Structure 1
């Protein structure tokens, strides 16, 4: 009887894992189809790039220990990782959705302080998009701080939430 129970548990666990993998981009809390389209044609950009709402860029990253962040990242980046900053003009509505193609810590800074996120969604099963974070901000300039990235580039999309 024990073998049957163990086998049944193994089958159920494997089925659950397979279903999660099949979920793909539908695993996000909100649609990421706009990001998919933007990431497919994202132009290369250097750290410090200015992004407009509705744009994406494939940002070249530098070692985190060479970056002068406006405020220290809320999660200390591991040694040997990469990061960058980008600028964005927040529209009067004040809401931004920032999506990333890979693993990274993201802080959005406005008025010299990090702004807490208003929503978060991530999926390891969505090819090309890893996470999407929403922020409620004031209209005006803001800085996106990326850190803890293991790769030398990451795609970033800045959108108004749907």
Structure 2
């Protein structure tokens, strides 16, 4: 009887934990299920790479002072943090959603100017996604800067909003 009670407790605890994880991801202002699926198979990508809209990358970050930011990040990165610069071609509809697996600041630069975000959602209780930021941009090239990350890797998804 004791083994059955312990097993039942373990099953219920595991179910509760899984439900808590799902509830954490459900707390975003918009769905992040596409990002979760893309992050699972995100290819290793170096700093400086082109990010594709509709895809994810496991971005290798460098020490922030070596990132080569186009413009100073809106939030100055703390000492000992990591960053990267990447590029993206914004689709004709113009709005992109950049989602990150961990804590980091994201800036988007277009035509030499930093673009303010059009929307933000961040959740600390989702195990695979930390934040998702939307930007309204003109179609064409843009630079994306990641800064202030505490780890040297960051999964990034660039999508059009649902």
Question: TM-score band, normalised by the shorter chain?
Answer: 0.7 to 0.9
Q: Distance between the aligned counterparts of 1:45 and 1:21, measured in 2? A: 27
Partners of 1:157 and 1:44 in 2: how far apart?
13
C-alpha displacement of 1:23: 2.6
CA distance in 2, matches of 1:47, 1:54: 19
1:11 maps to what in 2?
Answer: none
Contact 2:68 2:85 in 1 (8 A): no
Aligned to 1:69, the other structure's residue is in SS state coil
After superposition, the Cα gap between the structure-2 partners of 1:38 and 1:20, relative to the gap in structure 1 and judged at 3 Å, is closer
Whole-angstrom CA distance in 2 between matches of 1:87 and 1:55: 13
Which structure 1 segments of 5+ residues have no match? 1-18
- Aligned-pair Cα RMSD in Å: 1.4
Counterparts of 1:67-106 in structure 2 under 5 Å? 67-106=67-106
1:137-156 equivalences under 5 Å are 137-156=137-156
Aligned residues: 144
Q: What is the match of residue 39 of structure 1?
A: 39
C-alpha displacement of 1:20: 8.2
Instruction: Give me the TM-score of the superposition, normalised by structure 1.
Output: 0.86
Cα distance in 2 for partners of 1:23, 1:41 equals: 23
SS at match of 2:79: coil
Structure 1 counterpart of 2:132:
132
Runs of 4+ off more than 2 Å: 19-23
* Cα 1:41/1:75, change in 2 over 3 Å: same
Structure 2, unaligned runs of 5 or more? 1-18
Q: Secondary structure at the match of 1:70?
A: coil
